[in-house]
Chains A and B, each alone.
Chain A
């Protein structure tokens, strides 16, 4: 309700349209168990449920609302936010093409030729083409600019050799955004950015091998390139400008970009329970009022109470800071609050899960396959998965470097 207050006429109409459409068309809950986030999609059954949902939402205009129509978008003004709010409120499933929507689309949009945008964006937005991100390598993680996978020019083509790791969704992906070295003598200016069709090249220059996560799930991969030939038209921006293009990707990955990423749900798990942040806090209270600890309820234990409230306060603090970031008079440095977002969201999530384990006590030892596991083993899974979030997309340590340097103006660490 709150969200509707400041709508423009276009937004208000669109909001109503989204509500009506969702009421009539939101998908039935799946028969298969869905993972906690799209980054752990493992099976074709999961994909076969999620892909048609994104396609339907795209056809209805709820995905890509702000992109131009000739790119497969809705050509609206600042309406993706509205669709997101309505999809979250409705508790729809999430979209499978997260990396495409969140990172590849804005990068292609800002740096691709008109021709490339028209060619790639419609399939990306509809989810027909799943995208993945080939940035990290065995030797290049936090220090991303040290990537070594090499592209050598050969007339109108480039020949790619090297090794990418942790590539989420590569096992389903048709396309990859790829950061490559084109000049070994210059760390930052020796990088060039490409979009590459990998599915069609499997077994023919591209090998995708799944990596197994700490949770036992798959979802990310290593990708090997051996003499893969790619046409120059798939280059984004100039040769040597790869680092600048990658910054556009990273800014959007960390939620600080210019284009609003289409996101839906993930708000309800397979049983239809809400997993929003506020709901998560009350879920923890509910958990504590059931779990036993040292002869009484966990919710009566002073240490648990203190930790619960600390968490609550941090969550509310984050929410209110995001609100305050919109009030210029109450902020000094414009990036001071936005740059905290990724770090805080992921650390609070991690703390929540850690506290849930503490509240569950011995029962937190029970995992997914145990019929006695509280909430089907959700919390041990969440706790392990939370480290994916504090490591990926710029580790918490790297985020603190960025905040210290860009906001507080402290000297750059090596």
Chain B
């Protein structure tokens, strides 16, 4: 199969992206975001982080949270490029809510053929937020390294680094049983589920350890099939996160360019100096690469699935690089003010550092890609 020249980014996709950009600009401009999530700078503040619950509810009403649910499961079945467009805008707004988690869960569910998947899709359509609980105590990027076990219909153990744990209604848990990895659906309120918040750097995210003690679970994907499901969903997960990071990096670029255009030293605006100008150009180029690779990966998900992983690894590697550079340059070129809690760049700095690590950093993606391209030589 081959991709359409325009990445399949048509009128509907553009309308959604425009609507999302407008929505975030009106409903969650950065000063409001800062008031909401950064009200308490104390490093020892309460671990529960405030979030945009009202906006999340509105997104449910707008149908954005069920965009990726397949049509035959009752959802909107939007092509992945459209979802990427929304995610890019959410990243640009540093949206503090379970949108990324729920969209990621949707793509995992799409590969599950257990009974439970149908019910989980229905829950998403009704407005539930679902998140992935699959990381072990060491933060392994391979979801098969789970610390949760499954036996006789119930789950025991702890999933670490669970995103949006408090903001979600249920979890997709990866657990090891006697016959291998399976995936299970657990409601947050189920008996035996305990959530212990992490105290994290990122002010826009929520993260926790989720423990399961004899929790009865709905099977989404039988023992021995979980790894395959997660592998199949990985390109979509990487693409969604990369889209979020590209949006956030563009905010970092535009905000820093604006500052470099107004702040004057030595009789010139900062942007006059090439030690500022050239790195900002390099950041722009990195963002452009990452963004192009995100849309290529998104388009591949629907039109060229055999190459989706390769393209998604490229997108995430590029997004991590752009994010890391965007973080360092945006703080540095704001000078002293950039080092304060008051300046908004810290919100994005912290979000991007968090994102860089969640599904594996750039070097990790490149090693995965090397295994594909050098060892498998599956290159066109």
Binding site for B on A (CB under 8 A): 2, 5-6, 278, 282, 285, 288-289, 299, 302, 305-306, 308-310, 312-314, 316-318, 320-321, 323-324, 326-327, 329-330, 336-337, 340, 343-344, 397, 400-401, 403-405, 407-413
Please list 12 pairs of residues, one from A and one from B, whose beta carbons are closer than 8 Å in the complex, sorted by A's number.
A285-B373, A299-B374, A313-B314, A321-B288, A324-B291, A329-B17, A340-B288, A397-B274, A405-B277, A409-B257, A411-B272, A412-B272
- A408 vs B269: C-alpha distance in the bound complex, in angstroms? 13
Which A residues are CB-close (under 8 A) to B317? 309-310, 313
Chain A residues in 8 Å Cβ range of B281: 400, 403-404, 407-408
User: Is B296 on the interface with A (CB-CB < 8 A)?
Assistant: yes
Q: A408 touching B370 by the CB < 8 A rule?
A: no
Residues of A within 8 A of B272 (CB): 410-413
Query: Which of the four size classes fits the interface of chain B?
Result: 35 or more
B379 close to A (CB within 8 Å)? yes
In whole angstroms, what is the CA distance A404 to B206 when docked? Answer: 37
Instruction: Give A324's nearest chain B residue, CB to CB.
Output: B292
Provide the bound-state CA to CA distance between A310 and B365, in Å. Answer: 10
Residue in A closest to B316 when the chains form the complex, CB atoms: A313
Query: B293 contacts which of A313, A344, A401, A413 (Cβ < 8 Å)?
Result: A313
Binds A, one of B6-14, B166-174, B337-345: B6-14
B278 within 8 A of A: yes
**Apart from the given pairs A313-B317, A410-B277, 12 other A-B contacts in the complex at a CB distance below 8 Å:** A285-B379, A308-B374, A313-B293, A317-B293, A320-B293, A324-B295, A329-B13, A330-B295, A340-B285, A403-B281, A407-B281, A411-B272
B261–A323 CB distance below 8 A: no
Q: Is the CB–CB distance between B277 and A404 below 8 Å?
A: yes
B257 and A410 within 8 A (CB): yes
Contact between chains at B374 and A316 (CB < 8 Å) = no
Contacts A309-B366, A327-B9, A411-B271 given; indicate if A397 touches B278 (C-beta within 8 A).
Answer: yes
Q: Which residues of A contact B373 (CB under 8 A)?
A: 285, 309, 312
Q: A316: which B residues are within 8 A, CB to CB?
A: 293, 296, 311, 314
User: Is B284 positioned at the interface, with any CB of A under 8 Å from its CB?
Assistant: yes
In the complex, A310→B318 CA distance in Å? 8
Given A327-B7, A404-B280, are A285 and B374 also a contact pair (CB < 8 Å)? Answer: yes
Residue in B closest to A299 when the chains form the complex, CB atoms: B374
Q: Assuming A407-B284, A410-B269, A413-B272, is B374 touching A314 (CB within 8 A)?
A: no
Contact of B363 among A306, A336, A401 (CB under 8 A): A306
Given contacts A321-B288, A321-B289, contact A313 B370 (CB under 8 A): no
A312 adjacent to B369 (CB under 8 Å): yes
A184 to chain B, nearest CB (A): 29
Residue of B6, B284, B290 touching A326 (CB-CB under 8 A)? B6
Task: Point out the residue from A318, A323, A340 that lies within 8 Å of B5, measured CB to CB.
Answer: A323
- Given A409-B257, A413-B272: A305 and B293 interface contact (C-beta under 8 Å): no
Whether A318 lies near B289 (C-beta < 8 A) is: yes
Residues from chain B with Cβ under 8 Å of A344 in the complex: 285
Question: Among the interface residues A308, A337, A408, which one has the most CB atoms of the partner chain B within 10 A?
Answer: A408
Given contacts A330-B7, A410-B261, is CB(A313)–CB(B366) below 8 Å? yes
In the complex, whether B57 has a CB less than 8 A from a CB of chain A is: no
Q: Which residues of A contact B269 (CB under 8 A)?
A: 410-411
User: Which 5 A/B pairs are nearest by Cβ-Cβ distance?
Assistant: A317-B289, A410-B271, A320-B292, A309-B366, A411-B272
Nearest to B272 among chain A residues (CB) is A411
Q: Which residues of B contact A337 (CB under 8 A)?
A: 288
Q: How far is the CA of A289 from the CA of B373 in the complex (A)?
A: 12
Query: C-beta contact mask, B248-282 vs A, less than 8 Å → 1, else 0?
Result: 00000000010011000000110111101110111
Inter-chain contacts of B268 with A (CB < 8 A): 411
